[in-house]
């Protein structure tokens, strides 16, 4: 949708994973009445002027209307770069979201967009780590890590377009785009994430997402 008197926004929904842990691409699993990727696209479409879906090679798009769909690369960073190339040059704020997080709300998209609109280079939703964290080698604990100051990052993550594009120059790799902006010296601001905004990595996660979707629909 158009953001009146605001900067033009674009979303990259990263759905190019091969699903090696589940044996098939998890983003196409049906949870509730829709696929994981469809839930992610719906939230992005509710808040952004453009939506680009990044898919596995040779995978067609048969979901809701989007601005563009493109083939991803061998890594997440390569897939994001494919999405960047598909967004219009006049997009000023870019939101990157993983299709494996189907419960991200339009409100969370809007929150990170607003923080970048207010001057940050990037905005990342985070949740506190409540478990004790241990570092292991093989089957042996070698350190118990102090969790104070540690948080778990989620998507959607929003970025000033020029900053994100610059961070991706020379084809760097990272587990999320905020890490690339951090490495480039950008100002990354955290916002309060959503404990329900889970990332699906196993079949057990799918069951949890189904239960949470059932609560939302009631």
Q: Over range 143-155, report the average pLDDT.
A: 95
Give, in degrees to the nearest 5, the angle at Cα 39 between 100 and 209. Answer: 60
25 or 217, which is more confident? 25
Q: Hey, is 23 helix, strand or coil? A: coil
> Looking up tokens 């020379």, which residue turns up?
170
Q: Hey, is 193 helix, strand or coil? A: coil
95 pLDDT above the threshold of 60: yes
| Contact assessment for residue 110 and residue 39, using Cβ atoms and an 8 Å cutoff | no
What is the reported pLDDT for 218?
Answer: 43
79 pLDDT above the threshold of 80: yes
Helices (H), the chain: 36-45, 76-86, 106-117, 161-167, 177-183, 203-217
174 exposure class (CB count in 10 Å sphere: 0-12, 13-18, 19+): middle
**Residue 138 CB partners (closer than 8 Å, separation 6+):** none
What are the chain's domains? 9-217 (3.90.550.10)
Residues paired with 138 in a beta bridge = none
pTM: 0.93
List, as one string, the DSSP characters of 142-185: EEEEP-TT-EEE-S-EEEEHHHHHHHTTT----SSHHHHHHHTT
What is the reported pLDDT for 104?
Answer: 97
- For residue 88, give the nearest of 29, 161, 160 by alpha carbon: 161
Q: Over range 88-113, report the average pLDDT.
A: 97
23 pLDDT above the threshold of 70: no
For 35-74, the pLDDT digits (tens) are 999 999 999 999 999 999 999 998 999 999 999 999 999 9
Residues paired with 97 in a beta bridge = 13
Token readout for 211 is: 């239960």
Residue 3: DSSP 8-state = -
As a whole number of angstroms, the distance between CA 58 and CA 53 comes to 13
Parallel, antiparallel or unpaired: strands 93-98 and 9-14: parallel
What is the reported pLDDT for 1?
Answer: 42
27 pLDDT above the threshold of 80: yes
90 pLDDT above the threshold of 60: yes
What is the reported pLDDT for 25?
Answer: 80
What is the reported pLDDT for 217?
Answer: 45
């Amino acid at each position: 949708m158009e953001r009146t008197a605001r900067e033009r926004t674009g979303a990259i929904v990263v759905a190019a994973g091969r699903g090696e842990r589940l044996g098939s691409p998890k983003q196409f699993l049906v949870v509730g009445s829709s696929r994981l990727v469809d839930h992610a696209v719906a939230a992005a479409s509710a808040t952004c002027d453009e939506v680009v879906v990044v898919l596995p090679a040779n995978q067609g798009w048969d979901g809701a209307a989007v601005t563009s769909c493109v083939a991803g690369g061998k890594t997440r960073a390569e897939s994001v770069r494919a999405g960047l190339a598909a967004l219009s040059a006049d997009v000023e704020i870019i939101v990157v979201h993983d299709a494996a997080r189907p419960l991200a709300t339009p409100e969370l998209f809007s929150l990170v967009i607003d923080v970048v609109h207010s001057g940050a280079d990037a905005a990342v939703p985070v949740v506190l780590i409540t478990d004790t964290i241990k570092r292991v080698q093989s089957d042996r604990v070698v350190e118990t890590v102090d969790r104070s100051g540690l948080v778990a990052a989620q998507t959607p993550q929003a970025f000033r377009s020029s900053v994100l594009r610059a961070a991706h120059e020379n084809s760097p790799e990272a587990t999320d785009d905020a890490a690339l902006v951090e490495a480039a010296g950008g100002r990354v601001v955290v916002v309060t994430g959503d404990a329900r905004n889970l990332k699906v990595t196993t079949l057990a996660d799918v069951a949890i997402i189904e239960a949470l979707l059932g609560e939302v629909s009631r």
